[in-house]
């Protein structure tokens, strides 16, 4: 990917721990982690019970390799990585997708935003720039999710279910994900809305590759996520 | 008495005997055992005198005894599903917490816990010093 010089203060980079949930991403994970660690040395990979050699790839790629012995879902994996990083003294927690759809330079801008104290949480916003980069079907689905959250969570965001996030340590300590599967992305929005933490949306580019699209959600998945989210809210 | 009535009574009686045996061994609680015994006993009574269900049903405005049983069954099944679902949710949550703790311990043990404490905290030493390299024991 881009050989852009990502400029970020060394101590800021070291205080930022990047958490990557990994589920059957053996093909791409090594490259994603390598590029990331050129800028952010502390990368935590949580292998969520993959069966395709992801664990071996992850162990070779980063010293902070964690493994769920049983598949527990992306939300659970993020929370595991976050708990681990917090125990090791992380000052900021970043969420990053394993499939290579995010860009390191985008993450660096978001990290700076949190490190400078402009916000407690930075959320990636794929609609902040060139919207045509987002496939039309995806755009429609996500617009629906955005509208849904405007009502359900009472928070007006441009983009929801974007895997790129940066949280300050206090924010990460307050937000504990209990939705184990994909509904965590909805849960986190609720938690943010209720916490009163300062949120900033940072325009990012999602690189939609055939690989990432194949791994991504089918539109019916949106209903499943909504169902899990609503059940979770109803039952607490 | 029809053959089916005899079969039903025998089956219910077997369940009753099992319940008593389980309760005596302490495998199930006394209260639970008594409640289930009450249900089984009622079943035997209704098996012996099927018309009794209709008498009770008429008394509360339902025309047939079998309808009464059906309505009760629907309530019991719904409650059962909900109870099992809630229990499953709790077990899943506990499983996640367990798997999480195991993952963190496994990763921490591989490089010796002492290194973990107060690690980066942002002081500007070069990354090379922080990365455990061959820290993992395999």
Assigned token pair, A109: 């801008």
Beta carbons of B132 and A91 less than 8 Å apart = no
* CA nearest neighbour of B66 among B52, B87, B84, B82: B52
Q: Are residues B40 and B80 in the same domain?
A: no
**pLDDT at res. B17:** 96
Burial of A117 (0-12, 13-18, 19+ CB in 10 A): exposed
> Does residue A34 sit in helix, strand or coil?
helix
Of A66, A180, A235, the CB nearest to B107: A66
Percent over 70 (pLDDT), chain A:
98
Beta carbons of B103 and A68 less than 8 Å apart = yes
Assigned token pair, A210: 């055939």
Question: Quick check: A216 pLDDT over 80?
Answer: no
Looking at the structure of chain B, the number of domains it has is: 2
Assigned token pair, B22: 């389980």
The beta strand positions in chain A, using DSSP E, are 16-22, 43-47, 64-67, 92-95, 121-125, 165-168, 199-203
Look up the domain containing B83 and give its range. Answer: 66-109
Q: Are residues B45 and B12 in the same domain?
A: yes
**Contact present, A103 and A96 (Cβ < 8 Å):** no
**pLDDT at res. A2:** 46
Residue B92 lies in a domain: yes
Beta carbons of B99 and A76 less than 8 Å apart = yes
Residue A178 lies in a domain: yes
Give residue A161's pLDDT band: very low, low, confident or very high (50, 70, 90): confident
Instruction: Find the angle CA(B105)-CA(B107)-CA(B109) to the nearest 5 degrees.
Output: 65
Distance CA A94, CA A16 (A): 7
Residue B12, H or E segment: helix B3-25
Distance CA A41, CA A13 (A): 7
Q: What is the pLDDT of residues A59-107, one digit of tens each?
A: 999 999 999 999 999 999 999 999 999 999 999 999 999 998 999 999 9
- What is the number of H-type helices and E-type strands within chain A? 10, 7
Look up the domain containing A80 and give its range. Answer: 10-235
| Residue B137: alpha-carbon gap to chain centroid | 40
* CA nearest neighbour of B116 among A212, A76, A88, A112: A88
Average pLDDT over residues A196-205: 93
Residue A1 lies in a domain: no
**pLDDT at res. A182:** 84
Residue A3 lies in a domain: no
Give me the average pLDDT of each 10-residue run along chain B (138 residues). Answer: 93 96 92 94 93 93 92 95 94 96 90 46 40 40
> Does residue A194 sit in helix, strand or coil?
helix
Distance CA B77, CA A190 (A): 34
Residue B34 lies in a domain: yes
**Portion 106-125 of B in contact with A at CB < 8 A:** 106-108, 111, 116-124
Question: Which CATH number fits the domain that encloses residue A69?
Answer: 3.90.550.10
Looking at the structure of chain A, the number of domains it has is: 1
**pLDDT at res. B121:** 43
Helix A136-152 with A184-195: angle, nearest 10 deg? 40
Q: Are residues B31 and B1 in the same domain?
A: yes
Residue B72 lies in a domain: yes
Beta carbons of B130 and A42 less than 8 Å apart = yes
- What is the number of H-type helices and E-type strands within chain B? 5, 0
Q: Are residues B44 and B75 in the same domain?
A: no
Residue B81 lies in a domain: yes
Residue A21 lies in a domain: yes
* CA nearest neighbour of A183 among A144, A213, A223, A220: A223
**pLDDT at res. A1:** 45
Instruction: Give the residue carrying structure tokens 């930075």.
Output: A122
Distance CA A15, CA A5 (A): 19
Beta bridge partners of B37: none
**pLDDT at res. B106:** 92
Using the Cβ of A153 and the Cβ atoms of chain B, whether some distance falls under 8 Å is answered with no
**Contact present, A185 and A224 (Cβ < 8 Å):** no
Distance CA B110, CA A74 (A): 24
Q: Phi, psi at residue A102, to the nearest 5°? A: -100, 160
- Rounded CA Rg of chain A: 16
Rounded to the nearest angstrom, the minimum Cα separation between A55 and chain B is 12
Distance CA A207, CA A218 (A): 17
**Portion 1-30 of B in contact with A at CB < 8 A:** none
Q: Which residues contact A170 (CB under 8 A, 6 or more apart)?
A: A120
Q: How far is CA A188 from CA A153, A155, A206, in A?
A: 10, 12, 20
Using the Cβ of A64 and the Cβ atoms of chain B, whether some distance falls under 8 Å is answered with yes
Residue A157 lies in a domain: yes
Question: Quick check: A213 pLDDT over 70?
Answer: yes
Calculate the average pLDDT of chain A.
Answer: 90
Asked whether the CA dihedral A150, A155, A158, A161 is positive or negative, the reply is negative
**pLDDT at res. A4:** 55
Can you spell out the DSSP letters for A114-127?
HHTTS-SEEEEETT
Residue A5 lies in a domain: no
Residue B60 lies in a domain: no
Beta carbons of B132 and A178 less than 8 Å apart = no
**pLDDT at res. B138:** 36
**pLDDT at res. A207:** 87
Of A14, A79, A87, the CB nearest to B120: A14
Average pLDDT over residues A18-47: 96
Of A63, A79, A89, the CB nearest to B135: A63
């Amino acid at each position: 990917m881009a050989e852009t010089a990502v400029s970020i203060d060394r101590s800021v980079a070291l205080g930022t721990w990047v958490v990557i949930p990994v589920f059957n991403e053996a093909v791409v994970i090594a490259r994603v982690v390598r590029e990331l660690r050129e800028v952010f040395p502390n990368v935590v990979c949580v292998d969520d019970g993959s069966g395709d050699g992801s664990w071996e790839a992850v162990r070779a790629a980063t010293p902070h390799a964690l493994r769920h012995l049983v598949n527990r879902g992306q939300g659970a994996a993020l929370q595991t990585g976050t708990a681990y990083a917090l125990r090791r003294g992380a000052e900021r927690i970043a969420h990053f997708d394993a499939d290579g759809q995010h860009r390191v330079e985008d993450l660096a801008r978001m990290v700076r935003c949190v490190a400078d104290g402009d916000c407690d949480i930075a959320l990636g916003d794929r609609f902040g720039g060139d919207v045509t980069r987002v496939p039309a079907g995806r755009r429609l689905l996500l617009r629906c999710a955005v509208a849904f959250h405007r009502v359900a969570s009472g928070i007006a965001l441009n983009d929801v279910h974007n895997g790129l996030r940066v949280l300050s340590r206090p924010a990460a300590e307050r937000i504990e994900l209990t939705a184990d599967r994909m509904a965590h992305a909805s849960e986190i929005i609720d938690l943010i809305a209720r916490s009163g933490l300062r949120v900033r949306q940072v325009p990012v580019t999602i690189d939609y590759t055939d690989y990432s699209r194949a791994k991504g959600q089918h539109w019916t998945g949106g209903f499943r996520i909504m169902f899990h989210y609503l059940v979770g809210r109803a039952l607490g | 008495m029809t053959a089916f009535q005899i079969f039903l009574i025998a089956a219910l009686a077997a369940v009753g005997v099992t319940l008593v045996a389980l309760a005596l061994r302490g495998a199930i609680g006394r209260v639970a055992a008594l409640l289930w015994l009450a249900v089984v006993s009622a079943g035997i009574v209704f098996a012996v005198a099927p018309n009794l269900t209709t008498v009770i049903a008429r008394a509360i405005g339902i025309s047939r005894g079998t309808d009464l049983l059906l309505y009760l069954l629907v309530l019991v099944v719904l409650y059962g599903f909900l109870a099992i679902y809630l229990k499953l949710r709790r077990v899943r949550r506990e499983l996640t917490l367990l798997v999480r703790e195991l993952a963190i311990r496994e990763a921490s043990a591989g490089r010796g816990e002492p290194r973990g404490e107060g690690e980066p905290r942002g002081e500007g030493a070069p990354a090379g010093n922080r990365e455990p390299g061959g820290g993992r024991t395999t």
